[in-house]
Amino acid sequence: MQGTQISTIGIDCRFAGTRSGIGRYTEELVRSLLKRNDPWQYVLFVHNKNDLINLPSSDNFQFSIFNFPFYSVHEQLRFPSLIKQSKIDLLHIPHFNVPLFCPVPFVVTIHDLILHHYPNQASFLKRLAYRTLMRHAVKKSSHIFAVSAFTAGEIKQTYGEAIGRKMTVTHEGVSSEFHPASEEEKQHIQKTYDLPSSFLLYTGACKEHKNVQALIDAAPEDQTLILITGGKEVKRLKIKSNVRILTNIPDADLPILMSTASVYVQPSLYEGFGLPVLEAMACGTTVVASNRSSIPEISGGQAILVEPTAEGLRAGIEAGLQVPRDHDRLRAHAIAFSWETMAKKTAAIYAECISTPPTTPS
């Protein structure tokens, strides 16, 4: 009598290690899935094995090297053959860049539809490629994971309400590294980065939808604004004398910087999720944020929400500087968002897709 064949699930992990939101999502998803005892094996597609570090000890996964750039012709032409060789039963792509000729059923995670609204100076061809790949990912997937109810609503509004029948909202989580720092840690970080006793903090990119210039314009002159950011968009910012830019901050320093800041500010016009809002709250820091997109959903009434104009942000910052910190309340809200819960929901959908195999997309 033959034994039951064990199913195999592939996960595209090439974003892991990129220090991006999608990279963080991928790393935490894989770590949380490998801690579970689900009855299947994993193939983790990576640029190299160093993409994923600190994985839990497990014998239910193997790496497969696919060292080609995202959104490239090579990705479209070469990835399908590697997928076929891997003999996986289901593929999870944590973004919209699914090969157009994917040889197996697939599920996708859609983080946002930002490029529908803010193309960020992308060329016509890039915008066309994005819309083609996104439509294919949404329409041909066996299931869609949306990182927020806001993103799920955007997907249904753009691609039809019927899409909702194959979509699950899986909120992201807050890692245990984000917690209030000790006074000694705060003093050390202030000395290391030569920080004043009171400062405002923002972390993230400076693309159009991030609205960073409005934040710079809003920052009171008696407050130092620290921007942890990078990228070519920084060059277009009009920096004031009370603004400092920090780059390449070690991951271990970020929770301490968030804990030390007087106010964390998220001025975005559009966020699919907005994880730094929760990370700052987990560190016990008052958050001032835009009242747009997913931020009201994620902040859950625990942030000072304002219109994302210079005037609105300034008023919010001034109010935030006066609010006594309530570490316990802020932290309780933030840690309710769990990577383990996200992985549990994700694994349940894997099980459904494997037990009732959908038609292979063409």
- Any idea of the CA torsion for 91, 176, 327, 267, to the nearest 10 degrees? -40
Say how far apart CA 189 and CA 266 lie, in whole Å.
22
pLDDT of residue 361: 42
Taking residues 176-192, report their average pLDDT.
97
- CA-nearest of 119, 4, 104 to 45 is 104
The residue behind tokens 């014998």 is 59
- Cβ atoms 287, 281 nearer than 8 A: yes
Q: In order of start, what are the domains of the chain with their CATH numbers?
A: 7-173+338-355 (3.40.50.2000), 183-335 (3.40.50.2000)
H/E element, 265: strand 263-266
343 contact partners, CB below 8 Å, separation of at least 6: 29, 32, 33, 35, 36
Element (H, E) at 340: helix 339-355
68 SS3 class: coil
Q: What is the dihedral of CA 216, 147, 298, 114, to 10 degrees?
A: 30
| DSSP-derived 3-state class of residue 361 | coil
Rounded distance between C-alpha atoms, residue 362 and residue 103, angstroms: 8
Residue (of 63, 88, 86, 85) closest to 8 by Cα position: 88
Confidence of residue 4 (pLDDT cuts 50, 70, 90): low
Q: Residue range 170-178: average pLDDT?
A: 96
Model pLDDT for residues 37-55, shown as the tens digit of each residue: 899 999 999 998 888 888 8
Q: Which residues contact 20 (CB under 8 A, 6 or more apart)?
A: none
Give 359's pLDDT tier (boundaries 50, 70, 90).
Answer: very low
**pLDDT greater than 80 at residue 261:** yes
Average pLDDT value for the chain: 93
